Amino acid sequence: MNSKLAILGGEKSINKKFKPYNTIGQEEIDAVTEVMKTGVLSKFLGCWDDDFYGGPKVQEFERKCEDFFQVRHAISVNSWTSGLIAAVGAIGIEPGDEVIVSPWTMTASVTAILNWNAIPVFADIEKKTFNIDIKSVEKNISKYTKAIMAIDMFGRSCDIKSIMKLAKKYNLKVITDSAQSPGAMHNGQYAGTHSDIGGYSLNYHKHIHTGEGGVIVTNDDSLAERMRLIRNHGEAVVGDKGEENINNIIGYNFRMGEIEAAIGIEQLKKLPNLITKKQSFARRLNEGLKDLIGLNLPISTKDSLNVYYVYGMSLDLDLLPVSREEIHAALVAEGLIIGKTFQNVHLMPIYQKKIAYGSSGFPWSSEICKREVSYDKGICPIAEKMQDECFLAIGLCNFDFDESDIDLIIGAFQKVWKNLDKLKCFF
């Protein structure tokens, strides 16, 4: 390999386009074809009826998810955003209640809180895992806190054991957003199954997918039924069904179709092997990158097995002669597709301007918001530093890598690190 950096005029380390990640095969095509032949693409009815719970494929998929994730209830939804909204509503949230959440997440984790006129409160993240920091969570608990929403970032479970212990201390509910972590294990249980409610995304760029979709999981019978009501026009159902607890049972159509469920059944069968492949690539990356000074690699431990949706790294800038921007530019020049930012949700305009419903600042400006909640830059210093200066990421669910591709990636990193001093002179 030419040792001169591509950004300095040398040859690139990677001269190929990686194959896009695709988990759809003949099995899914056959399953969809069978559904199409029946003519039953959905069988939900928004009234109290045998079909209130959906059609045969939806119910089959839910039972298979219950078996796989070892939970009492799996509830399919048309997106994980819908699942989060149903979960927050099901725990009995009241307008003005506070829910503590990480700033490092997809925006839906937080807007699901706002959907019920509750107030998001942001806790910082851990440096090594990018997951919510238990110490920051406790610091942000107030007398108005109702719940904690813990995100399992990039394929690794948060410290859910400590979070559940803290929740018990303060009588809080816990929702885990394991959108990126289906199949991850923590203390012998699947991520998302330790808390009151958890669940997974089936969006097209996840480990497995149904195009769009999601699965909620819980071991609580009452919460499960409340989420089913929120999923399917519950306000039209509760009378005939005889439900007495009707708070937050507002009509939505969060229903998964039969085609998506049929795809999900086949995709679920593939999940273990897909995870094994990601873990194998991560081990190969770990071995190839472990000696690069100032580069912190993702963590997987015996008690918390990572499924590597993203191979998330961070830089120790005190040990490096150049910035993240310069390293990123050099890696891109070598032909590597690599991310350098995620997002800090609390710094988005909706929270900086506190404009959500209407133009007057509701719910923050209303009497339901019981105290001033800050979203100023500085409230989550670790998350903000990661975004601004330190984060790098390889999307292991973006491409259908093989071992030779991983070796090319390793080679690009090693080449850049061998030339950090020359890179410094260039910039």
In the structure, what pLDDT confidence band is assigned to residue 208 with cuts at 50, 70 and 90?
Answer: very high
Q: Quick check: 123 pLDDT over 90?
A: yes
Q: At what angle do helices 324-333 and 403-418 cross, to 10 degrees?
A: 130
Q: b/e string for 299-325 if b means 16 or more Cβ within 10 A?
A: ebeeebbbbbbbbbbbbeeeebebbbe
Task: Return all residues near 123 (Cβ < 8 A) that are at least 6 apart.
Answer: 100, 101, 102, 132, 133, 136, 137, 139, 140, 380
The tokens for 189 are: 């249980």
| Res. 1: pLDDT tops 70 | no
Residue 49: pLDDT band (50, 70, 90) is very high
| C-alpha closest to that of 228 among 249, 245, 247 | 249
Model confidence at 118, in pLDDT bands (50, 70, 90)? very high
Q: Encode pLDDT of 330-385 as tens digits.
A: 999 999 999 999 989 999 999 999 999 999 999 999 999 999 999 999 999 999 99
Split at pLDDT 50, 70, 90, the class of 25 is: very high
**DSSP type of residue 219:** S
Q: How far apart are alpha carbons 309 and 154 in whole angstroms?
A: 5
**Residue 2: pLDDT above 70?**
no
- Going by C-alpha positions, the residue among 196, 191, 203, 245 that lies closest to residue 82 is 203
CB 148 within 8 A of CB 163: yes
161-170, 259-268, 418-427: segment of lowest average pLDDT = 418-427
**Strand 119-122 with 173-177, pairing:** unpaired
Please, where are the H alpha helices in 49-159?
A: 56-69, 80-90, 108-114, 134-140
Domain spans, the chain: 6-22+271-341+384-426, 26-267
Which of the pair, 81 or 341, is modelled with greater confidence? 81
Considering the chain, what is the average pLDDT of its residues? 96
DSSP 89: H
Edge-to-edge strand list for the sheet holding 198-201:
73-77, 214-218, 198-201
pLDDT, position 249 = 96
- CA–CA separation, 187 vs 164, rounded Å? 13
CA dihedral 266, 268, 273, 274 (to 10 degrees): 100
Region 26-267: CATH code: 3.40.640.10
Query: Please, which pLDDT band fits residue 172 given cuts at 50, 70 and 90?
Result: very high
Residues 236-253: tens digit of each pLDDT = 999 999 999 999 999 899
Residue 426 has pLDDT above 90, yes or no: no
> Taking 70 as the threshold, does the pLDDT of residue 164 lie above it?
yes
pLDDT digits (tens, 9 = 90+) for 384-404: 999 999 999 999 999 999 999
What pTM was estimated for this model as a whole?
0.96
Give the model's pLDDT for residue 60. Answer: 98
- pLDDT of the residue at 138: 98
Query: How much is the average pLDDT of 60-68?
Result: 98
- Tokens representing 396? 């292991």
List Cβ neighbours of 33 (8 Å cut-off, separation of 6 or more): none
Q: Is the pLDDT of residue 427 over 80?
A: no
Distance CA 68, CA 265 (A): 11
Position with higher pLDDT, 88 vs 341: 88
Please give the pLDDT value at position 3. Answer: 86
Query: Which architecture, in CATH terms, is 6-22+271-341+384-426?
Result: Alpha-Beta Complex (3.90)
For the CA atoms of 180, 232, 357, 216, the dihedral, rounded to the nearest 10 degrees, stands at -20
